[in-house]
Amino acid sequence: MKSKPTSFDIAHMAGVSQSTVSRALSNSPLVNAETREKVQRIANELNYKVDKNASSLRTQRSKTIALLLFEDPSSDDSQINPFFISMLGSITKACSTAGYDLLVSFQNLQDDWHAEYEDSNKADGIILLGYGDYLDYQSKLEQLEKQETHFVRWGAHDPNHPGISVGCHNYQGGYLVTEHLIKRGRKRFAFIGVADSGAPEFMARFQGMENALIQHNLIDQFIGQFDAIFTLEAGEEATEMLLEEGTLPDAIVCASDLIAIGVQRAMQAKGLICPNDIAVVGFDNIPVSEFTNPPLTTVKQDTQKAGKVLVDKLLRLIEGETASDMLLPTELVIRKSS
């Protein structure tokens, strides 16, 4: 059969009206059980599927969510941040459970992506995952809000930021991992990662560490915070600067696993042993962290839960309900680097 059957074809074969076919296939209670079964059987035989475009046009609901992964234009296309990959997996699953399709798009920050998806009725709402400087995309988030686009984003909780955010408890994670290092006798800390309002998640991790040091009277011995964006290379460079500073730390807390791997590499190049000379800890628990040399102690973000929560919140917004920010707990993963 060349052309696809329509609901009229099914109706004809079942000897009922097209309206009844539509009702039967959507399991409407308004249709006789026997009629429904007959219609469904015939639809199955013909391999009939409801036309998504017609259905969406009529109901003004696409039952589709758009996932926008945006990133610094600097980064390589094929190298998606591994942390977001895990998120992608759990978001896909959550969408499918909710009966939604998922449209995926990678965007650069320059791109004119705002709201395109919902404005054209391709999607009922948008999930934003991104890294890069928060300040660069704040204005786009504000525009989304102004256009009343339904969206949620992964990121830091801040009442001043537009939209609903879901994120992990970065402050707690920074605190936990620092406390762990202190218990193991580390005293001279350094932090690698940008810690300003352009990177609110990194900043919260930094503050968690800082507070743990204060509580344990170690803040006087704090060696310093060294800027690094989210990449391995940035971690490597920052470490080179740190190691030229004079006093060596005995623990380096990194804002992410990728940074921490860069730190380990830079140390190796200088002949420093991890953890004997310096303990190194990361954040994210990306799959690679288990295989570095030595395996990385890190803070795990629960991506399974995160994806589910993001989708749930977004669906609430789509339904016209309210939703609020959410912080997910973090979990310490202790390996040999500490």
Partner DNA sequence: CTGAAAGCGCTTACAG
Binding site for DNA (CB under 7 A): 3-4, 6-8, 16-20, 22-23, 25-26, 29-33, 35, 48, 50-51, 54-55, 57-60
Min separation Cβ 52 and a copy of itself, Å: 5
Handedness of CA 1, 19, 315, 44 (dihedral sign): negative
What is the length of the chain?
A: 338
**Contact letters (x/-) for a copy of itself, 287-306, by CB under 8 A?**
xx--xxx---------xx--
Q: Binding residue for a copy of itself (CB under 8 A) from 7, 20, 22, 90?
A: 90
Nearer CB in complex with a copy of itself: 41/122: 122
Q: Is 334 in the site for a copy of itself (CB under 8 A)?
A: no
Min separation Cβ 235 and DNA, Å: 48
- How far apart CA 68 and CA 65 sit, in angstroms, is 10
Residue located via tokens 């954040």: 283
Integer angstrom CA distances of residue 121 from 22, 64, 106, 314: 22, 9, 19, 16
Q: Is 285 in the site for a copy of itself (CB under 8 A)?
A: no
Q: Do 153 and 129 form a contact (C-beta atoms < 8 A)?
A: yes
Choosing among DNA, a copy of itself, none, which partner's interface includes residue 324 (Cβ < 5 to 8 Å by kind)? Answer: none
Among positions 219-278, residues that touch a copy of itself (CB under 8 A) are 261
Other C-beta atoms within 10 Å of 246: how many? 7
Q: Binding residue for a copy of itself (CB under 8 A) from 41, 122, 216, 270?
A: 122
Alpha helices per DSSP H over 167-227: 170-183, 200-215
Specify the DSSP class assigned to residue 201: H
Nearer CB in complex with a copy of itself: 126/218: 126
* DSSP result, 218-285: -GGG--EEE---SSHHHHHHHHHHHHTSSSPPSEEEESSHHHHHHHHHHHHHTT--TTTT-EEE-SB-
> Where along the sequence are the contacts to a copy of itself (CB under 8 A)?
2, 4, 47-54, 56-57, 62, 64, 67, 77-80, 82, 85-86, 88-90, 92-93, 96, 101-106, 115-116, 119-122, 147-148, 261, 287-288, 291-293, 303-304
